[in-house]
Structures are given as C-alpha cells and as structure tokens.
Chain A
Amino acid sequence: MFKTISKLVNAFGPSGCEKQVAGVITNMIEDRVDEIRSDAMGNLIAVKRGSGKKIMLAAHMDEIGLIVTTIDEKGFLRFGTVGGVSPLISLGQRVVFENGLTGVVWYEESIENMKDAKPDKMYIDIGARSEEHAKELVGIGDMAVFAGQPVGQNGVVISKALDDRVGCAVLAELARRCPETDHEIYYVFTTQEEVGLRGARTAAYSIMPHLALAIDVTRTGDTPKSKHGAVALGKGPAIKVKDNSVIAHPKIREKLVNCARENSIPYQLEVLEKGGTDAGSIHITAGGIPSGGVSIPTRFIHSTAEMVDLKDVENAVKLLEAFIKR
C-alpha cells in the first residue's frame, strides 16, 4: 500500500492539471475494470459493470498548489494560491513545477508582523538571473506544488498531497481487488476539488448514480491542544456524519457502521466543522443523490507533511469492500 501511495503522491497534480495523476491511476487499474474514460473536466471514470445499483465512489486527484501570476524584472515569481494554501505553511518551503523546476517560497522582508505575510507579499525564487532567464524556465499561469518524497515509518506515511491521493490509493486498491458484487461500481477520480468541488459535480451528472461515497481525508483531534474533534489517527476509517458541505444520508451512514461492525473493522464517526468533500456537490446534483463518505484520519492537512496511518488506509479498503458487496 505504501508503494501505491508513493506513486500517487509523487505525481504532479494541482487543480486543473491532473493528467499525470490520471495516467498513474489508469496504469494501476485499467486491466481490472470494464471501461475507463475521462470527461470534459478531466475526471477519470472507471466502470465495473453490474446489473444492480449504480454506486459512485469518488476520490479527488488534485492537490493544492501555487500559480505564477507575474515574473518581475529580477526574475522573482509572484504567485496566487490554488486551493487552501496557508501562506505561513508555505514559507521557506520548496515547490516544484511540472517541468521539474524547483523554487523556494519567501516573503518581502519589510514585513514585521508575520500575520501580514499574505501571498501578495510573498514570492517564489527559482534562482533566475533575470526576467528573461526566468521566462525561459516558467510562464505566467504555470502551477507549482509542494516538493518532497513520501516517508513510511512506524506504520504511518508522511507526505505532501495525501489529501487526497490516499483516497485515490484506497479506490485503486479496491478496484484491483475486484470485489464480487452485482452492483455497477464507478470508481471516479475527480478534478478541481480543492477549488470548489467542481469535477465531482459533472461526473455525478453524467453517471447519475443511485448513491455515492466520497473517499477523502479528515482532520484529527489527537494532537497537542487540537480543536478538531474526536477523530484520531490509527483508530479506523472515519464514517462521515457531516462536514461543511454535506450531511451524510443517514441510511448510508448506518449501512457503513453495520458493515464495519459485522466485519470487525474499527471505525470512527466524523463530524467535521470546517472543510468539505466531493459529496457536497454530488448530493445536490440533478434530482439529488444519497451520499456519504469514508474518510482517512489525517494530521497536518494542506501542509508539506501530512500524516496517515496505514492501518486506517487498509481498513478503509476493507470497509468499502464490505459496503459494495451488500
């Protein structure tokens, strides 16, 4: 599982530029599904045919990033944020562009209070000698993501972009195990979640599933003085009750809980006060689609070093397997 996650987090994929991730996933699962296609928004939709209900499982491929807005006369890059990037977390970090170019994020040093360090007072330094030199390397509108290799130790994974490549890994692994079921399963790898749950909306509209689950990360409350509720790392996948974008359909929630209990899979209940998932746009698509979610407890979300527990990931796969068999 660590290998699968590694391949996925290493792919470059800020919102709107998810093709590399889609390519990696296609290679992983294309021999295990009946059909695989992409749509106008870039969503990757893999189908395992069946005669029963249409079940949509969604994990988003995009990660947060930075976008170049201006190249100044000395070759420094000004940027805007793609998705929920914290300026303070970005400071001093390495970022990498699709062509492999690395940059450092820094701030205008006239800033005295670091609370004023907003993206428009910050820049990316790629070591360019001049504006012209910089323009040979990168263009306005190019996106960069946090750099860094994933680490596996003590049963946890530390990496950028676990939000939501770990969800992609869960779905890819599930597709590879080919669970026996009469239902028609849509493994949907969505785009542009981080900028407003956009890809999932059009995917849901074209599939019109009977029900949908979003597989995403959720915050934990188990770190020193955390305010983020009861979910803890390593205590099982979290079955979504609500977040800021959706209230899970009670029957889906109930069914997930029953699946976990009957199969002795540890689980937690997720009540997330901030943040949303693809289920938020799926459940109000067309005439309404009953939706829920299975979330991987994750520390330090939207940082360069997010952390998940591999047991939670494995148990999420088991829980979904049990769910779609019923």
Chain B
Amino acid sequence: MAKALDDRVGCVILTELLKSRYPFDLYGCFTVQEEIGLKGAKAASYAVAPDVAIILEGTTCYDLTGTSEHMMSTRLGDGPSLTVMDRSVISDRDLLKHITRTADKLGIPWQIKRTISGGTDAGRIQVSGKGVRVCPIAVPCRYIHTPVSVMDKRDFFHTLKLAEGTLAELADWLTGDGDTDVKDSAKGTAHTVGLDQNQFREGKSNV
C-alpha cells in the first residue's frame, strides 16, 4: 500500500533485472514525463533504437464490488497483466506469445488486461525509428492515481519472475522466431540480438 506504485513498482523490477547478465545488450530506461504524455520514452527510444522493448508498469486494477466483470481491467492476485491492445498500442503478437509461453512454463499466472482504454509508452516506442516489437508487463494496482495504491505482493514477485524468464529465453526467441508465417517475407527483418528494457507508467488510465 503506497502512493506512486505507478510506476515505481516498475522501477524496482527493472533495478532487479539489471543485476543479471544477458547474451544481448540490455538498456534499462527509467523514463520521465510519462504521465503528461509519454514524452521521455519517445526521446529514449530514438536514442536506443532497440529491436525489442518490454515495458514494466503498474497498471489499473478495477476489481471492486459493483463493477461488472467485463469492466474490471485487471484483478488483484491474478498475476502479471499483459496488454494485447489499449488506446496507444497493439502489442507484438509473437512477443506476447513468447511471454505467455514463458509464464506457462514457469507456472506463473497471468491475465490479459480486459479494458482497452488507457495508454502506455509502448505506443511511442513501437512507432519510433524503423519500428520496435513491444509488449507491456504490469503489476495490477488498485486505486491507481490516488494517494493510496494497493498491489498484491504475489503479483509483484510473479511479474519480476516473468520478466526475468522472458529475458532469459529472449535470445532464443529472437534467433528462432518460429512464429513468422508470412511466406519468406520476414527475411529482411533485422533480428540482431539486442534489447531495450524500458520501463514506463500507465498514462491516462480509466480510473
């Protein structure tokens, strides 16, 4: 229970991730000015020009009494929240699949964020430069954008574990990339191994 879990929780996870070594360049970006329009990420993503970006967040959680099931963006305790689509971004399907497979393999619960409102810096990063494959992983936080956000410790540790697992297998995924079914059309795609680990916060949430 704290203020500013959006998105200091992402900052903590990223700090932890930076303690390990990876077979690719990992850029840990602690971005600025997300809450007023996803600004820092835009500049950072041009500077880094990553192949892949994973966005670590605290996201809206609206599992309260009186809310219909389909309006609950995420549920506390149900695991890390993954975004298929919000107002700012449609995540890279293959990257999302890699993350959910990793979660299943590690026995980590996960949920897809149900509402499509709100935005994250994933939207800015994805369309920067020649394009970036993006997907947000987030810790559900109740009462986001208020003086008291509430998160579930289990969700926090699951998110950390999932982010670690995703990175651990990312090199294989990037070189293997068996998900591209467009006939030969991926042959020009640059799959040089490298990663930008960005961390951002939720912008205009639906809270």
Contacts and interface: CB of A to CB of B under 8 A. Distances in A.
The winner among A40, A81, A140 for most chain B CB atoms within 10 A is A40
A40 B185 contact: no
A154 B115 CA distance: 43
A7 to B, nearest CB: 15
A201 B184 contact: no
A188 B181 CA distance: 19
B39 interface: no
Nearest to B51: A40
Interface string B144-188: 000000000000000000000000000000000000111111111
A37 B93 contact: no
A69 B115 contact: yes
Contact of B90 (A72, A195, A202, A203): A195
Interface stretch (A17-25, A99-107, A177-185, A227-235): A17-25
A38 B114 contact: no
A205 B51 CA distance: 15
Given A120-B71, A141-B84, A202-B127, A38 B189 contact: yes
A16 interface: yes
Contacts of A78: 69-70, 114
Interface string A58-90: 000000000101101100001011100000000
B131 A23 contact: no
Contacts of B182: 19, 22-23, 26, 38, 44
A35 interface: yes
B70 A67 contact: no
A69 B114 CA distance: 5
B90 A39 contact: no
B126 interface: yes
Interface of A: 15-17, 19, 22-23, 26-27, 30, 35-41, 43-45, 67, 69-70, 72-73, 78, 80-82, 120, 139-141, 192, 195, 198-199, 201-203, 205-206
Interface residues of B, number: 34
Given A69-B115, A72-B70, A82-B85, A35 B130 contact: no
B189 A19 contact: no
B55 to A, nearest CB: 15
A140 B100 CA distance: 13
Contact of B115 (A43, A80, A192, A201): A80
A205 B183 CA distance: 24
A163 B110 CA distance: 35
Given A16-B90, A82-B85, A36 B127 contact: no
Given A15-B90, A19-B181, A44-B182, A205 B130 contact: yes
B132 interface: yes
Interface string B115-144: 110000000001111111100000000000
Contacts of A36: 184-185, 188
B130 A206 contact: yes
Q: Most chain-A Cβ atoms within 10 A of its Cβ — which of B96, B133, B183?
A: B183
B32 interface: no
Given A80-B115, A205-B130, A44 B70 contact: no
Contact of B130 (A16, A26, A27, A202): A202
29 contacts: A19-B181, A22-B182, A26-B184, A26-B185, A30-B183, A38-B180, A38-B185, A38-B189, A39-B130, A39-B188, A40-B131, A40-B133, A44-B182, A70-B114, A78-B69, A80-B116, A81-B116, A120-B70, A140-B84, A140-B112, A140-B114, A141-B85, A195-B85, A198-B126, A198-B127, A199-B131, A202-B131, A205-B130, A206-B131
